[in-house]
Structure 1
């Protein structure tokens, strides 16, 4: 510990607080981005010898990664600032890894953890002339800090009512800690926003320059949201009929009742709105009752149907051949005992020749 730190300890210590823990907090408190609120927490981690803690700090001793299924998983968070381990000051990364190797089976880590949600104050609401309606919505201030190597994961758009609404949050992102899908972002660092472009510009500027932004969030109360979702499901299951359809239906019911009362209970068959000509109706009725004549097959149809025939006897016919030398032709032997045409023994005619129909 340097001389300046010892001097700060003497000036900051009061008669009622002489413990090393309180003095250490005042003298060695690490700077946080802009004015992000933080809280001091004590984390107890049990681990065996040779087992890694599973957390990765950066040069400023801010946790930038936590490995799953390790001792630190579920205990330390990304964004936590390391202060001490078992009461000993953590000055840099090397000192942290040295302590982690020999402080098993249990290490007590003091960290500073950022607060992601704080109640909305009247002064903050007055900056944008906001009068919160707490009967339906909840209002709070969301604090978002930039951490190297971590994604913000926030997607917004301009809603129909002129507000900026959160539409998507990536899993395990920084924005998931303070926002939910459906939240309205009313301002960024005290400046009112009414479009996604202005909100994106202010968020980007604040995170790049200061590494921190705060926004007023309007969120529908959980019980109201539950009721709205139930109403929406009911509307999908039982859609509401249009008013003009209801009016026409009631008028038609009244007309039918009146006609039934006038005709002593005999309700006439309503006239179809698709047919206006009685002669056309009678012709259609005659067509339904009269038998339809069978279609007369055409000549081409009958020819196609009888195109293939088999003759029970052999027919000898003179055919023309493209072969000029008749000696090269092979005669087909005649079998008098066959009473039908044998395709296995017959020779198919050559291209361009004519033969008997099969």
Structure 2
């Protein structure tokens, strides 16, 4: 039985009141803000078709129709219950992993899961790091990566481990697929025009980025303790470079040696070069 259906969602609203639902390029709702009038009415995964009888082909049509929708917006959406449940599960990021996200305007965040299937599709994933971000640089058609990732995605972590270097991310990905058969990522996905433009430029950049491997917790703790203690450290009474003997001055003397080099003009006078 098909879970997809066309339904009308009625949302009471005052003039100028924000709906609180964010659609993507295909008018699929990807985010619903808590405490807004859209909460409990629209669902993530709903695809908007029209508002108050006005057909919507893009986001401009949608927001223009909402501007004049008060006191009630009658929104026709294409709702797939199964797909909605999957998408809602993806946008629910565990609290311990949500802490690492530095949320930015123009991006949506979700939890992507990649499951390895024996004798199934290939991985088909390429990644690069740019400005301390691991970006998806290649997604091959018909592969595992295509099911949950898109070009330009920023992989914030791999199974809860923050990553800023592509080699570290790749090693974690392969290790976890081999040991667990699946791997998850907290993904930052560009949604706005500016965000997508940045991702496009980042993927096109052919700049060798230095590795940006995050130090282990114990190393960072030791470094932090040393930094705190550094201002209070005293200058040693005796230099570590001293042998205990009386200091001697070392004089460096440059000596010039002349070496004669053979050439094809033996016995002939060479022209002077100005």
Superposed pair shares fold, TM > 0.5: no
Higher strand share: 2
More helix by share: 1
Q: What is the TM-score when the length of structure 1 is the normalising length?
A: 0.30
TM-score by length of 2: 0.38
